[in-house]
Amino acid sequence: MGTRNNPEFDWAYTVDIVIQTADTPGVKAKHPLLAMSVGVSKPNEDIGGTTVRAVKSIQDRGHRVSRLTADMGYAPNLKPENYVVPLKAMGVPIVTDYKKPQKGIQGGVGGSVQVEGGHYCPSTPIGLLEASLDYEDSIIDKSTWTEKMIERQRYSLRAKERPDADGHRPMMCPAVGPGATVECALRDIHNKSSKLAKPYISERKTPKVPDRICKQSSVDFGPHDGVEHEQLIPYGTPAWQKTYKHDRNTIESFNDFLKSGPESLDKPSFRRVRGRAAQQFMVTFHLVSANIRKIARFLRDARRVMPKVRHPRKRDTLGRSDYVRPERQPKTEAAKKPAAKRAALKKAQTPLKT
């Protein structure tokens, strides 16, 4: 067995399981949510590569991957070239959370500021840019944070065109064009812009030295600009909160299903084999067993809600029976009298309680 200080032995493995989740959070899936792929690796070794290979395996089998939701231990903490970049090349967007060091302003392009996966006007109120940090420090409550996340989207840069073949995309100031979401002293109001009230950025609040995002019609963003924080849904918005919570609850429920069921994946005594390949083999068998239980439970629950179908008797459909169930007739006054006498007699025979 060796000793615990012997680097030639692995004393623990990490299991990365990719499972299905409902495409639309809150809408029950029309099929059981199954484990689709699994990878076994050493702790903190090639986590990104293991996950990317698992997702690629799913795509290679012809399945569509509309999003990949993972906790804050993945995207913001892994090297982009090992995780986010290959997933983006595969067309798989990410939904994730951030640790405190990744919140707030994280640089920018052409004078814009990048905050939690989004790119914003440099004149965005600081209270909106640092709202997640304030919520982290309990300066504001959750409802206030959510309101600020919604308001912050007004200052978000907008795509002028779709990304080209190389992944370059022109982004423009939120005060430009008919779809402007703010008004700025540095920009003329488009004649087709909505007349609805918008936040106004006065000249005093604009940058002292305006950069390209404030002067040009658009700024080119490369395929890797801000890619390490990029995600599918604007962070902190109600849509993000609903999707992230739903998907995380789904995986935690599946983990509990694996541990509390007959597979008992968390018990080493159920996997008395050595080596990563052997552990991969055993884990795969446990997941197949769990998937079969998931399917059986789904079919059982589906049968419970199905209305019971009454089939006519064969002799009736073939006309071989002349039996007709008589219709129940309402009781006449004469028929009611014997019943009333029996009730009175029974009451008279009932002993009194003292």
pLDDT at 351 over 90: no
Top-confidence residue, 279 or 182: 182
Chain-wide mean pLDDT for the chain? 85
Top-confidence residue, 327 or 318: 318
Describe the strand order of the beta sheet including 219-221 as a list of residue ranges.
Answer: 158-159, 169-172, 219-221
The pLDDT confidence band at residue 221, using thresholds 50, 70 and 90, is: very high
Residue ranges of the chain assigned to CATH 3.30.420: 7-96+231-301
Average pLDDT score over residue span 174-186: 92
| Cβ within 8 Å of residue 229, ≥6 positions away | 75, 76, 98, 102, 106, 114, 116, 117
Of 106-120, 124-138, 202-216, 303-317, which range is least confident?
A: 303-317
Which pLDDT value is given to residue 262? 87
Q: CA-CA distances (angstroms) from residue 74 to 98, 160, 306?
A: 9, 30, 42
Residue with tokens 């129940």: 328
Which pLDDT value is given to residue 174? 94
Which pLDDT value is given to residue 352? 55
Give the integer Cα–Cα distance in Å for 332 and 325. Answer: 20
> Phi-psi category of 331—alpha, beta or left, where left has phi over 0 and alpha has psi -120 to 50?
beta
pLDDT at 76 over 80: no
* Burial classification of residue 8, based on how many CB atoms lie within 10 Å of its CB (0-12 exposed, 13-18 middle, 19 or more buried): exposed
Of 112-116, 196-200, 302-306, which range is least confident?
A: 302-306
Of 18-32, 75-89, 196-210, 303-317, which range is least confident?
A: 303-317
Nearest to 229 by CA among 72, 91, 110, 124: 72
Helix (H, G, I), strand (E, B) or coil at 200: strand
For the chain, the 3-state helix, strand and coil shares in percent, each to the nearest 5, are 40, 10, 50
Q: CA-CA distances (angstroms) from residue 105 to 72, 121, 122, 217, 302?
A: 17, 12, 10, 23, 49
Top-confidence residue, 353 or 94: 94
pLDDT at 320 over 60: yes
pLDDT at 22 over 80: yes
Fold classification of 7-96+231-301 is Nucleotidyltransferase; domain 5 (3.30.420)
Alpha helix (H) residue ranges in 26-130? 47-60, 84-89, 126-129
Which pLDDT value is given to residue 138? 93
pLDDT at 79 over 90: no
Residues comprising the chain, all counted: 354
pLDDT at 131 over 70: yes
The pLDDT confidence band at residue 306, using thresholds 50, 70 and 90, is: low
Which pLDDT value is given to residue 2? 35
Of 51-65, 95-109, 339-353, which range is least confident?
A: 339-353
